[in-house]
Structure 1
Amino acid sequence: MSTPDGTPAGIWVVIPAAGRGSRFGGEIPKQYLCIDGQPLIAHALDALLAHPRVVGAMVALAADDALWPGWTERLGKPVLRCIGGGERADSVLAALDALPASVPADALVLVHDAARPNLRTDDVARLIEAAAASADGAILAAPVRDTLKRADADARIAATEPRERLWRALTPQAFRRDALAAALRQARADGALVTDEAMAMERRGARPKLVEGREDNLKVTTPADLALMEFLLQRRGVDAAGERG
């Protein structure tokens, strides 16, 4: 289905990819590191675009990004790009503003990390279902299962923190287009550094739904993460080949 200007109607994906990945190190931004012949961002895009309700993606890139492969579509769906900002929130807001005008103000938009490639389509489906039923949106998350320690200034244990009702925020995170844009603009005006989209929404009183996602929906942050992700994606390929056989 298309809108009058020819843009597909449905759910759009926003991927902030303007960062350099300083914690990872190296000359190549981590979203362009390859596993199985594809950069991490390609795996992330394909995992989202594979869902039938997702109709396109907007990727926010650094102004001097010379590594973007030039995709205009993947899996038969449009992949658009815009210039991002210095912080994640700036890139997400730039991407929201760059979405086609035909994308309604109350349309669900999914925001996903460029270096989180091991996303499963069934998690996307459950997230979309939960976000569509919640005025405040929803995020994929995982309950904290490890014992948590609070440290003092000398890196000694100061206390053991209760883990009940604590979750690790994952992506994608799903919110209405204009509500998220307004929340990000408000955070910027207040000088607040928000580390994910849910945090911006929470500052305006929203209570997004937590949707339990797979533990292996990991973000590549260090070289060790990359090695683990390579194993996980190769294992997926082997499992898929076995199912087809």
Structure 2
Amino acid sequence: MTLKSPQIVAVVPAAGVGKRMAADRPKQYLELNDKTIIEHTISLLLSHSAISKVVVATSADDPYFPLLTIASDKRVMRVDGGAERVDSVVAGLEGITDEWVMVHDAARPCVTLSDIDALIEVAIQSDAGAILAMPVRDTMKRVGESSGITHTVCREALWHALTPQMFRTEQLKTALAEAIAGGATITDEASALEFCGLTPRVVSGRSDNIKVTRPEDLALANFYLTQREKESS
């Protein structure tokens, strides 16, 4: 990185149940290479020199997180999350006084340190933070009733939003509060800033920064992590 990196707190919303995985527990607690998905995710975040702390927002009655070894790490703080992702992010932000915050999905264990470096470098030069994203590669279709295609959407300038997403802490807190009060649909943190008329920047991220959502994603994430372990050994 060409600019000095600030100290950052990472917020990991992890109160979801992951119904599409059809598993016996929330997807973040499924195992990859002898560690749960969320352990891979938090460990990676903590291995970055700019990230000083990780705030994890789980459901209040989550029986799994307290049993993880990483839960006892002094750099990890657990808070009660909410019914929706945005509720968990808001809960995670409470009490954070550091200038910068980075929000990352619990079920994205394959993000790389190099992508985080690139995100930080752009975010600290932006007036409205930045997000990792990936240009849309496939033909996009808009579908109507009965699964019928209504038209093809031009994919030029379309990007898949990824995480982490990084913003000034107070700016994100304010944007989320205004977006919630305005009844906006907040699908990610950047959408709250967009609602407030701000323009976060995108940083091209790696395609292997997948979100484990469906059963087949588990095998793919396992493959990526295994390959990285081989490359680093």
TM range (shorter): over 0.9
Where does residue 80 of structure 1 map in the other structure? 77
Contact 2:45 2:51 in 1 (8 A): yes
CA distance in 2, matches of 1:34, 1:222: 14
CA distance in 1, matches of 2:54, 2:104: 10
CA distance in 2, matches of 1:86, 1:151: 28
CA distance in 2, matches of 1:151, 1:84: 33
Where does residue 6 of structure 1 map in the other structure? none
- Any gaps of 5 or more consecutive residues in structure 1? 1-8
Two-structure CA RMSD over aligned residues (Å): 1.3
223-232 or 209-218, larger mean C-alpha shift = 223-232
Where does residue 3 of structure 2 map in the other structure? none
- Any gaps of 5 or more consecutive residues in structure 2? 1-5
Where does residue 127 of structure 2 map in the other structure? 135
Does 1:56 pair with 2:43? no
1:32 to 29, 32, 43: 29
TM-score normalised by the chain length of structure 2? 0.93
In proportion to residue count, which structure has more helix?
2
Q: Deviating runs (4+, > 2 A) in structure 1?
A: 190-193
CA distance in 2, matches of 1:143, 1:50: 27
SS at match of 1:58: strand
CA distance in 2, matches of 1:130, 1:47: 20
1:150 to 142, 153, 168: 142
What pairs with 1:62-211 in structure 2 (closer than 5 Å)?
62-68=59-65, 69=68, 71-73=71-73, 78-99=75-96, 103-104=97-98, 107-211=99-203
Contact 1:111 1:171 in 2 (8 A): yes
Identity level (%):
47
SS at match of 2:132: strand
How many residue pairs match? The answer is 225
Where does residue 20 of structure 2 map in the other structure? 23
State the shift of 1:214 in Å.
Answer: 0.1
